[in-house]
Structure 1
Amino acid sequence: RIWYNNVPHPKLVEYKKDQNWVRKSGNYFVFPGGGTQFKAGVTRYIRFIEQIMPQIKWGTHARTVLDVGCGVASFGGYLLDRNVITMSIAPKDEHEAQIQFALERGIPAFLAVIGTQKLPFPDNSFDVIHCARCRVHWYADGGKPLLELNRVLRPGGYYIWSATPVYRRGKRDEDDWNAMVTLTKSICWRTVVKSKDINRIGVVIYQKPTSNSCYTERKNNEPPLCSGSNGHSPWYTPLDSCLLLPALSKSGAGNSWPISWPERLNIRSSTSSENSSTWFSQENFDSDTKNWNGLISEVYSSEFAVNWSSIRNVMDMNAGFGGFAASLIDRPLWVMNVVPFDQPDTLPIIFNRGLIGVYHDWCESFNTYPRTYDLLHMSYLLQSLANRCDIIEIAAEIDRILRPGRWFVLQDNIGMIRKMDRVLRSLHYKTAIMRRQFLVARKSFWRPDSTGS
């Protein structure tokens, strides 16, 4: 449950009252775990998926999930108990503030839409993609929306589609189903299972191939295969109209599935960055892991005036290999790992470790609502940002995202720390400089008066 006054949008309660998404109870919104496609509750729905497809193995084999058109993100929220981390995405639409609801509940969520540009995720990232009545016409525009899901789905990964075309027999639903059958076959997705639950709600689960044989043996080259390797960042890139082949190893096999969770967290997968053509050595990875484990246990936890028990979500604004997030894995919180678009492309490694994240440019706004994160963390990024945009703009975006009473931690050289310190103190943050390389700043409940003084 969450405080009503934090997200005062009762419209969804009325609009979805028959589907048990959310109820208003006194000063709170309460989330019973219902939804359009899981009328018996999301817990039963999650168990049903595992029953009809045991090989999904929530929390061991399947660790990272993308939930498209997530609503209030109950699917991803309830999967947290299964050691599954879900990136829940939805647009800001007429249902009003669903992502804000999700973040207020403490569930990973992100404002996004599959429209004209690629999602800010690497190729072959997610173990599972889920869509329950997400209102996306996957076959539209030559199938570009589904081709985008195919791009971000790991070879061997699963697409779970729970929507009316799967189980209803009206003309529109049958037309949608037939179009989906044609499209999924054309991109070599295999139908693993199609079933109905006790409420006659249908689910179909597809699997992406792990080798290129099906693609090369197609009678019709439609959609066409992409020429050459992808080789470019998805940041501000139009959707593909071609089919991206899985990267092959020297043996000719497709991308290998990561080892089971939680072991995969501390293993550097043998992968290179497609976007920067940079190989990251095991030595770099091990050094980063050791560095963050030491800093968290010896400095962040013991020396900083941060109440870790009050922190539910964290954003690492320059995540590198994800070592900061990995060192916090035993705490009851989750981390949004952000890899700046102009930094070395380590985001594929972060996903291979079983963590989640996005590409971003910190000279622009981040796709989240105001006051949605408990702790923002930035390590040695400010100098390169200050060369492209004003430090005041960066501070304003940090202030927008951060909840009142919560913390921003900056690791940098003393010159950049002092510049940021002056700006944050002007916004009435309580600040402390530690060891001449850390700034710990706590946001207050201050707000400027109506005169702007």
Structure 2
Amino acid sequence: MSFAPRDTHEAQVQFALERGVPAMIGIMGSQRLPYPARAFDLAHCSRCLIPWKKYDGLYLAEVDRILRPGGYWVLSGPPIHWKKFWRGWERTREDLKQEQDAIEDVAKSLCWKKVIEKNDLSVWQKPINHVECFRSKKVLKAPHMCESDDPDTAWYRNLEACVIPLPEVSSSDDVAGGAIEKWPERAYAVPPRIRSGSTPGVTAERFVEDNKLWKERVAHYKRIISPLPTGRYRNIMDMNAYLGGFAAAMLNYPVWVMNVVPINSNHDTLGVIYERGLIGTYQDWCEAFSTYPRTYDLIHASGLFTLYQNRCDITYILLEMDRILRPEGTVIFRDTVELLVKIQSITDGMRWKSQIMDHESGPFNPEKILVAVKTYWTGEATQKQL
């Protein structure tokens, strides 16, 4: 997952998405990034101009929140290895030394271990648990350990300059929260958050059943949307991802999937999705998504409009889908036939071509499938009156 601020001169996120690389508009400001705790195996910053040393290490504390136990933080560019490169960076040696020393101090206060510094690149590693960190915090007072906080809460949640405690372990050799399988087995193995029972309402049996269900559904999608496995679609979004079963079932295709967990969903499962080795974000679909127009090739919306029909006007959600979908892109809706008829009447006005189809289990299932294609059209030029 790459993120960068919105930039009208150098739209890095737009360029990445047009190349078929996962990216979002985002910034490290006053609020948490829209990802759960312990999500990423590695975080990388190359000349990203983030003031890591300021505000009591606030931004590095946020990196610590989203890094998995044992995960790595890579920093390249100024001020790393300033003794060799300082002339080309047009900054004084004193300024660069002070900045690197401050970053080293913040990393140490987070209980990170410096692994290597080579050329203009440094790598730190987060501990696999906080057994030793708790002991050191009795001596090092800042930043303190966060108290009474849900580390996964990330939607409009202010940043805090504190260390979020990792789940408790029985031994100093144990990985906090549970070890994960190597890729690609990781995508289908029961994630630690489900094994430990920390995801309410989701059991290992339900996880396995969900995987099987989505393999069957994606096989059906392949029959009704023949270009699906051919490379025509690259950037795909699942607007209501649940456990990420749709994305996992698409792994054999040349695609990537942005798994979105709505903030009003019955289950907060984004942490599970990341433990599977997939990517995603939190989102309120009554608001705009953080991306540029025309950046997704296919959008999947299963049960989304049942979830949002009483929260906001679904017309606005459909208009947002139209904004982020490329011309001739495809949308797959799964919902009740009543909602799909309403959706179809709105998308007709947006000049989409659509067709309601039976559920893969047959015509007697109340859930139906609506496949829609955004047509390519432009407004008619106005003629000047003489």
Report the TM-score when normalising by structure 1.
Answer: 0.76
Contact 1:407 1:440 in 2 (8 A): yes
Q: Which residue identity does 1:155 align to in structure 2? A: P
The answer on 1:212 being equivalent to 2:134 is no
User: Aligned match of 1:186 in 109, 113, 116?
Assistant: 109
Equivalent position SS for 1:161: strand
Q: Which residue identity does 1:293 align to in structure 2? A: K
Separation in structure 2 between the aligned mates of residue 250 and residue 389 of structure 1, nearest angstrom: 46
Name the residue aligned to 2:89.
none
1:305 deviates by: 5.7
Identity percentage of aligned residues: 39
Q: Which residue identity does 1:414 align to in structure 2? A: V
Contact 2:235 2:256 in 1 (8 A): yes
The answer on 1:440 being equivalent to 2:371 is yes
> CA separation of 1:386/1:305 partners in 2, compared to 1, >3 Å: closer, same or farther?
farther
Name the residue aligned to 1:393.
316
Contact 1:339 1:357 in 2 (8 A): yes
The answer on 1:247 being equivalent to 2:161 is no
Name the residue aligned to 2:347.
424
The answer on 1:411 being equivalent to 2:329 is no
User: Aligned match of 2:121 in 195, 198, 203?
Assistant: 203
Q: Which residue identity does 1:126 align to in structure 2? A: F
Equivalent position SS for 2:329: strand
> CA separation of 1:273/1:412 partners in 2, compared to 1, >3 Å: closer, same or farther?
farther
1:264-298 Cα offsets, whole Å, 9 max, x none, are 11011221599x8615201110111000001111x
Contact 1:210 1:255 in 2 (8 A): no
1:304 deviates by: 3.2
1:333-370 Cα offsets, whole Å, 9 max, x none, are 10000000111111111111110000001110000000
Name the residue aligned to 2:203.
281
Separation in structure 2 between the aligned mates of residue 383 and residue 114 of structure 1, nearest angstrom: 33
Name the residue aligned to 1:271.
193
Separation in structure 2 between the aligned mates of residue 449 and residue 242 of structure 1, nearest angstrom: 56
1:217 deviates by: 1.9
Q: Which residue identity does 1:141 align to in structure 2? A: Y
Name the residue aligned to 1:226.
146
Separation in structure 2 between the aligned mates of residue 345 and residue 182 of structure 1, nearest angstrom: 34
> CA separation of 1:346/1:444 partners in 2, compared to 1, >3 Å: closer, same or farther?
same
Separation in structure 1 between the aligned mates of residue 222 and residue 22 of structure 2, nearest angstrom: 23
Separation in structure 2 between the aligned mates of residue 284 and residue 143 of structure 1, nearest angstrom: 40
Instruction: Flag structure 1 segments of 5+ consecutive residues without an equivalent.
Output: 1-86, 197-201
1:408-435 Cα offsets, whole Å, 9 max, x none, are 1100010111111111111111101110
1:206 deviates by: 0.4
Equivalent position SS for 1:118: coil
Name the residue aligned to 1:35.
none
Name the residue aligned to 1:236.
156
1:330 deviates by: 0.9
Separation in structure 1 between the aligned mates of residue 142 and residue 308 of structure 2, nearest angstrom: 42
> CA separation of 1:273/1:232 partners in 2, compared to 1, >3 Å: closer, same or farther?
farther
1:228 deviates by: 3.5
1:175 deviates by: 1.2
The answer on 1:151 being equivalent to 2:72 is no
Contact 1:272 1:279 in 2 (8 A): no
Separation in structure 2 between the aligned mates of residue 224 and residue 145 of structure 1, nearest angstrom: 15
Contact 2:353 2:375 in 1 (8 A): yes
The answer on 1:304 being equivalent to 2:225 is yes
The answer on 1:340 being equivalent to 2:262 is yes
1:386 deviates by: 1.7
Report the TM-score when normalising by structure 2.
Answer: 0.89
Contact 2:36 2:151 in 1 (8 A): no
Separation in structure 2 between the aligned mates of residue 403 and residue 380 of structure 1, nearest angstrom: 22
Equivalent position SS for 1:302: helix
Separation in structure 2 between the aligned mates of residue 450 and residue 271 of structure 1, nearest angstrom: 56
The answer on 1:322 being equivalent to 2:244 is yes
1:289-347 Cα offsets, whole Å, 9 max, x none, are 000001111x1001236554210110000001100000010111100000001111111
Q: Which residue identity does 1:304 align to in structure 2? A: I
Separation in structure 2 between the aligned mates of residue 158 and residue 98 of structure 1, nearest angstrom: 23
| 229-238 or 374-383: bigger deviation | 229-238
Q: Which residue identity does 1:130 align to in structure 2? A: H
User: Superposition RMSD on alpha carbons, in Å?
Assistant: 1.9
1:171 deviates by: 2.0
Instruction: Flag structure 2 segments of 5+ consecutive residues without an equivalent.
Output: 84-92, 360-367
Separation in structure 2 between the aligned mates of residue 391 and residue 305 of structure 1, nearest angstrom: 29
Q: Which residue identity does 1:206 align to in structure 2? A: W
Q: Which residue identity does 2:377 align to in structure 1? A: W
